[in-house]
Structure 1
């Protein structure tokens, strides 16, 4: 029960309150907002865990098996007191972190002790793989101030392609976890899902200094978690305590100390080289926070406000941008201990940001001289979130908690040059832009998302069984749309002699020919998605040293089109989760663990927008007459139209029954892990594990109408019926690639839809494949007030013919609607090492207290490069349509060059350092400097892999051109005062 109890702390609690709470495996409870204490003691012992800072105390009596567990504990420093049946008492200091299980063991001795043991015991009950870092631990590590940067400290975490999640203003910044695509993670704040479900590559964030702990689950997580094939990133915010505490800090990263921006230049040797250019970011931020008791032991509040003055200058080949961001962000948290058995938590936060962008023409490529002013644009991202959580300890053995939340995410823009078409000359490198457009595409000015969600979780201990069960429901509304500025996008390229365009034109002039490709693309609408699930798990204490976790999760997904009609409904997917832990020595010092699980991911709302919305998409090609207009539009001079119009979308939304296989099943993955963890003397913990993940099913769109028509014509359908089947499928159909397709076809015979089953052999697609195999070795020595050290080595193999929900090869983050699987030719040669494959990764970070006033820290990451491809115009025989996709197949200059066969990018090395001064002359005052990427390593991390411009043999001027580098060196100064 929750009691107004204050227990004197042992001195060791002060140390443990700032422990780097990171381990290879830990237990999660209630979406990682609480933790637990488990252990062993003599039967009949009364265990009391007390946290006077928040007035919390829980107690339990040890049963006949000698095992105890106290769950649903709010994070913090606890004193665990054991009163043995013979009257003797023992105490041990532990730290409970959100999502982590702590251990305290007691022996039958006749003395009172305060344990400060140098042997770090591990959570012997959990088979999960996770990394948990407290904010105090994060502050001792030189990292960028965002959730992704902290997540990348975890073993097996890799930074995703910078084009995935990219906006008009910022490069993408999402991790790939366990070989999954960057769109397959799920993000939580205080137990509330904040993932942007449009395409899974964005999420809401609290101000960085409002983080209490951050947990990264990279595998083996229990059935309370779903909607993820990659990992779970969970943040628990700071909260008020029985002592009023507050502070203020100021952080400044000057542009003058930032490493130079780069741009690629093609040398006379035919290779790409880096050249320096002006530009950079001047970043000034400040935080003010205060928290404490409104009523001691009963009601606590915490609030933080973050202000910013950020200016980013970008000097590109054709234009210059100056972006300013000054939006405040905040967190408000209230915790109410209603009585001994009930608590209520309220959280409100905002990460809404308004960016203002001024754009000028650039008279000199990458130069600082400003030309004519082009326009002023405004962008809005992020939004407000409100969360309520109620917890009730109905008995010592039965706990129930409930969460309800509302979250919003904006993607609004106000583009002053919306009437200016985007025009590029791609015959040269760098690419030149003409005209007055300030952005490549425009989102619906009213684009936004809203999530309303609730969940219930319960824990019930019955003898040797710890039952956990619950359910959740999320309703997601999205308003989205995209269109080109000025309605059309113009690209000037060169068509080689003999080259054939998608519209049927062949260059028979005997020489190369300059052409203009004009594409019009418009889509959008308002859509709804609903995801629901329930789960149950039995943590069964099989023997005193063996725990089996037997669980299952059931999930359902519903997606609606722009008119509100359901076009995808998947019910009752069963995901078993099985785990086993063995406390080898019986003292929580050596653990062997294993688990197996199945994980599903929902259909992203992007599928609603692209497949079930009205979409106009057509392309025309004209001869280029050699010049651009001198007016503000800068339109290219065009001659005769070359070939026919290629229509991919006619502007109408089809019947929802005619665009989705009625038997469709959601995307899922199976995972198997085997590991060992060992606690050594002097706080050291080492571990090792092997992981195997296999993608079992994919959900994507397919457009192979010709294949369907040929099959129908050969299997008894009339010519007219076969043509109808082909045109129905040609509209693009959502189904499970590699299997049979069931299509609802309207033969216009007055009978409505007729179901037609088209065998997989007629569609010509391979079975989807993606496997992840990894060996992971870890070590950890948590902070003890003097020093800490942690690191990992991971050898991993990520291989297959699909990355998953996105396609990093070309920077496409159309989750579930990628160009993969559209036609068989695009998948020919696609099996190989995937974009997130990194063979070797070394990570090490830590801190050392040099003297009473001085502390230093470091963070080092060394990683091998990603595989390279040579993409070109399709030149195979599997279909006649893949050629229309341009440089998108694994045929390169007419020759099949399978995925990943062109070598790898170079290794990357990044070193961060930190120095902190905490003067004795003023308690609470500190000064800190962080240098990220100390040696300013600027290795290329992604390249343009598209080798051909318009047809086979038409060489692209930008092939192999770097599209992203390691981030430039940044220096961050911080001054803080806490009281």
Structure 2
């Protein structure tokens, strides 16, 4: 299908206005009208009214007495049912949460009656096949969440954890980048990096004011065909709207580091000082017609940090190492990380007389974080990265949505959404000097990828038609997104030095200095030098289209069957491949196949059938059995296309040439080659190494290859897509049981099975087939025999990784006016053969020709996961809430600590016997208590509608250490001798928790989270 025909089809579908994300940010209310004898009452009048906004929906029961109202705003409702010969029956207190499908039987009487619906009557969604958990406004407002980021509440729901690499949400054991987060039914994912909008900065800043969030629904797996772009789960968030009453509030919170405990490893206070403030207000512009809402929040934080090179502890410098040792010690210093962030939300709603509804919302966030560069993981207050290796993170987001819901009739409802989001992320560098990555010691000089700037746009249109036909609720949907991105990004912009043997502390110190056994700087065959030669520019776009059809069939009052089919297409970026010489050099046959770098295939065969059921086996409707199954696809973050689209043009975008490492014992070194090319590294001090001009680096690369005529791309490391690259896909099924025990108390059990394929990994296609070393049976690589000898490492994006997640969830929830609580225990296993979260360059496989040996426990295999919360209202205006989250230890992957097989990566695992390597993730880290937090509130009311509330919050209440193995703790050593095959002692650093003095060993441990912190605040409500 040509381009014009494709767009013609898209425009036609949009014009039909019959497709979309159905009830993505809405709710449904259904039921059956009965007479006093239990017989169905057809053609009964049903009026449903939102008690806060006055929005009313009128409909009639069908021939079997059933009614269903769709596209209702979440909130509190009352229902009035009438029929000839019977008096009106009124149900009040009906709570509809986001994504809910509440089912109620209404019994008409001969006299008028009013019945108040208990909370538990709407806690069990008896018509939904997929398990879900709703976190409401009261919990969001009153629970002790550290940071006011709405997504942090999701970790209270079953199977959800924060993956440690990028800090994103992992649903059902899936990668964080492969989930889907929606706000008001619109996509809120960062299209370039993956994960939530705001990228990695969202781990430290709110991007939407917490005061603007009404509630959210977490669906961990098995969701309906109306949802997509996730191999795991969906987080469905809605923002607040104004009502007929003017309500609002303001708050101020202060967390001072003086109220914090010491870090258990370094025995000093690392905690941030944080001030947060803001407010919100909403109300009517025209009663029952037009409403407004606005919220704004700001935070200002600074965190003391310390540069400390813990690997040098216990090292006594010699004449050979004194220069480098003293230089690193001179870099040890205290500094501050700052965090200044603001978020704003404005919203307008208009209700038309016929029941139509128009909503406009705009959200903006901005943040500045000096000395806080991150790629997603936690910012350790004690770091072996020098201050020169830091920079400033800057982020700006804009996110707007227009939604129009039109009632053609009570049985035909159309919902149209248009949203656009924009984000720009400049990242500044503290230094313009070469990067020196000194193995386990630490790094100084510029961060290798700084400075950079990146922006992206998402324009999204969804349009839906819901048709109620007898017992069937039919949904048809379309979702169209146009994505564009641009960035100036490149590694090694000022040059970068690194070392093949990253664990040899004394050897690295000797190589860095002058004199000693290595007389010149970097005059060792194990030194690697990389230099950026591109113009850093990437600018491309992609398109996503989804269509779905779904039928929710109420077979009878006890059984609902769901059937759906979803199709998603992704038109990937086009490759700029006008460097014909390089393209022809690369497009050859390799042991792993043949590359075709001038194109990236589109993904247009993503069909996803889904089915599910919800069965209430008893007439009391206090129990429900759910089952679901289907196929699901995630979207690929655009970052993975960046290098492949710009590496093969003239000039290239982000391409570095590499010199070294060379064979052990070789006299060819980085120092010697650069000196021959005109730069003597001995002439510069360690703190002022030269930025080597590109032409000089290219001459040195030519000399390394035995020539003199520079080849601009000789030794260049390239990034490309594998010939057949697919989006991630998962096969899911699950079954569960939920029961209302007593009153407002429910409990349940759920089994979930998620098998994911086509997961992304990086693999070096430009490695020769290995030979087996006789002494230890380890496959080794001779890089001099690369299939494309003129080029360096190939970072080839493949989609052949896989994972398998199986979990049993036990859950219980209690909800009443004065007490709310929930507890979720997950017992799971998670296997995979790669867990990277869209790594730009990293290779994880030990042997790229044997991926089967990588299949073992996943990096995020948390065998036991417990999340719980409670909120209680006490007398005298006191409220107490608490959170407890804990998990068992994650796997720990043993490594040798150096490149022993010659593949230019540091992923080599030790051997247990000749030819027998340790399994990936063969060991276990320590378990942690992620949260043991409490909040105490005291309210003072005056003049009826005003209230002042004082708050005291305590995070890590019991000051648990939560120390895990980190840093050098995974360095095991060779395991066996490479020559003789005999066992060798395990490296003394491996899983070393405490030193001889009984203290936590600093180079091999780290704290998860923070020590005890206290925060106090005041809030005003009206």
TM beyond 0.5: yes
What's 1:756 paired with?
Answer: none
1:813-854 CA-to-partner distances (Å, cap 9, x unmatched) read 427x75246953573531211111111122221112221311
- How far did residue 65 of structure 1 move? 2.5
Cα deviations by residue, 1:647-683 (Å, 9 ceiling, x for unpaired): 99869899x9x8542x544320000010111113221
Aligned partner (choices 9, 19, 22) of residue 30 of structure 1: 22
Q: Look up the match of 1:303.
A: 294
Residue deviations 1:331-369, cap 9 Å, x none?
Answer: 00011113323211111011221233499xxxxxx9999
Distance 1:480 1:90, change over 3 A: same
Which stretch shows the higher mean deviation, 103-112 or 818-827?
818-827
Which has the larger share of helix?
2
Distance 1:527 1:620 in 2: 33
Alpha-carbon RMSD across the aligned residues, in angstroms, is 4.1
For the Cα contact (< 8 Å) 1:211–1:237, is it kept in 2? Answer: yes
Q: CA deviation at 1:183?
A: 1.5
Query: Which of 525, 529, 543 is matched with 1:530 structurally?
Result: 543
Q: 1:558 to 1:862 in 2, by over 3 A?
A: same
Post-superposition Cα deviations, 1:432-452, rounded to whole Å, max 9, x if no partner, equal: 445xx36453152x3111111
Partners of 2:489 and 2:537 within 8 A in 1? yes
Return the alpha-carbon distance in structure 2 between the equivalents of residues 601 and 556 of structure 1: 11
Quick one: distance in 2 between partners of 1:186 and 1:822? 31
Residues 342, 911 of structure 1: alpha-carbon distance in 2 compared, 3 angstrom cutoff: same
Aligned to 1:620: 660
Deviation at 1:468, TM superposition (A): 0.7
Q: State the alpha-carbon separation in 2 of the partners of residues 831 and 109 from structure 1.
A: 64
In the alignment, is the contact (CA less than 8 A) between 1:703 and 1:823 conserved in 2?
no
1:872-891: per-residue Cα shift (whole Å, max 9, x none)? 37999xxx76x321335575
Count of residues in correspondence between the two structures? 851
Residue number in structure 1 paired with 2:807: 774
Change (3 A) 1:406 1:949: farther
Please state how far the C-alpha of 1:644 moved relative to its aligned partner.
5.7
The structural deviation recorded for 1:628 is 11
- CA gap of 1:648–1:588, structure 2 versus 1, over 3 A, is farther
1:458-473 equivalent positions in 2, closer than 5 A: 458-473=465-480
Question: CA-to-partner distance for each residue in 1:27-76, whole Å, 9 max, x for gaps?
Answer: x9736311111222222332211114212011221223232211111121
| Counterpart Cα distance in 2 of 1:433 and 1:729 | 24
Asked if the contact 1:786–1:848 (Cα under 8 Å) also holds between the matched residues in 2, the reply is: yes
What is the SS of the residue equivalent to 2:109?
coil
User: Structure 1 residues 616, 872: closer, same or farther in 2, change over 3 A?
Assistant: farther
8 A contact 2:482–2:544 mirrored in 1: yes
Name the CA distance, whole Å, in 1 between partners of 2:65 and 2:186. Answer: 35
Q: 1:440 to 1:126 in 2, by over 3 A?
A: same
Q: Is the 8 A contact 2:257 2:272 kept in 1?
A: yes
Tell me how far apart the structure 1 counterparts of residues 1015 and 211 of structure 2 sit (CA, whole Å): 15
| Matches of 2:951 and 2:470, distance apart in 1 | 51
Q: Equivalent residue for 2:450?
A: 442
Q: Gaps (5+ residues) in structure 1?
A: 1-27, 166-172, 263-273, 360-365, 502-508, 711-721, 738-767, 807-812
> Please, which of 568, 573, 582 is the counterpart of residue 601 of structure 2?
568
Alignment partner of 2:765 out of 679, 698, 704? 704
**1:932 paired to 2:945:** no
CA distance in 2, matches of 1:117, 1:156: 28
Residue 642 of structure 2 is matched in structure 1 by 609
Check the 8 A contact 2:768/2:787 in 1, yes or no: no
Matched, 1:594 2:627: yes
Partner of 1:897: 918
Q: What secondary structure does 1:408 align onto?
A: strand
Could you say which structure has the higher strand fraction? 1
- After superposition, residues 320-339 of structure 1 pair within 5 angstroms as 320-339=334-353
Q: Could you say if the C-alpha distance between residues 686 and 644 of structure 1 is closer, same or farther in structure 2, counting changes exceeding 3 Å?
A: farther
- The aligned counterpart of 1:476 is 483
| Residue in structure 1 matching 2:936, options 915, 918, 922 | 915
In structure 1, C-alpha distance between the alignment counterparts of 2:599 and 2:501, rounded to whole Å: 45
Distance change in 2, residues 1:909/1:414 (3 Å): closer
Q: What is residue 174 of structure 1 aligned with on the other side?
A: 168
Deviation readout 1:558-613 (Å, 9 max, x if unpaired): 12146498623121310011011112113431111100011111222122113222
Change (3 A) 1:483 1:143: same
Quick check: 1:259 aligned with 2:289?
A: no
Distance change (3 Å), C-alpha of 1:727 and 1:214: farther
The alpha-carbon deviation at position 407 of structure 1 amounts to: 0.6
Measure how far apart 1:384 and its partner are.
Answer: 0.9
Shift, 1:253, TM fit: 1.5
- 2:1015 matched to 1:972? yes
- Give the secondary-structure state (helix, strand or coil) at the position aligned to 2:563: strand
Q: CA deviation at 1:188?
A: 1.3
Match of 2:140, SS state, is helix
Per-residue CA distance 1:225-268 (angstroms, 9 max, x = gap):
11111221222111111112222111111121233346xxxxxx
Q: Indicate how the Cα distance of structure 1 residues 66 and 424 shifts in structure 2: closer, same or farther if over 3 A, else same.
A: same
Q: Compute the displacement of 1:643 (Å).
A: 12
Instruction: Say which of 141, 144, 156 aligns to 2:143.
Output: 141
Pair 1:286 & 2:247 matched: no
Assess, with a 3 A threshold, how the Cα gap between structure 1 residues 410 and 938 changes in structure 2: closer, same or farther. farther
| Contact 1:791–1:844 (8 Å) recurs in 2 | yes
Q: CA contact under 8 A between 1:123 and 1:588: conserved in structure 2?
A: no
- 1:389 aligned residue (388, 403, 407): 403
Counterpart mapping for 1:640-719 below 5 A: 659-661=721-723, 663-705=724-766
Shifted more, 312-321 versus 848-857: the winner is: 312-321
3-state SS of the aligned residue for 1:120? helix
- How has the CA–CA distance of structure 1 residues 576 and 332 changed in structure 2, closer, same or farther, with 3 Å as cutoff? same
Assess, with a 3 A threshold, how the Cα gap between structure 1 residues 368 and 157 changes in structure 2: closer, same or farther: closer
Aligned-partner Cα distance in 1 for 2:575–2:985? 40
Give the Cα separation in 2 of the matches to 1:898 and 1:375.
34
Which residue is equivalent to 2:584?
none
Cα 1:582–1:375, aligned 2, differ >3 Å: closer, same or farther? closer
- Aligned equivalents of 1:199 and 1:860: distance in 2? 30
Match of 2:224, SS state, is coil
CA 1:151–1:842: 2 relative to 1, 3 Å: same
Name which of 828, 851, 867 aligns with 2:891: 867
1:200 is aligned to 194
Does structure 1 residue 354 correspond to structure 2 residue 353?
A: no
Determine if contact 1:820/1:826 at 8 Å carries over to the other structure: no
* Structure 1 residues 336-415: aligned runs within 5 Å: 336-357=350-371, 377-415=391-429
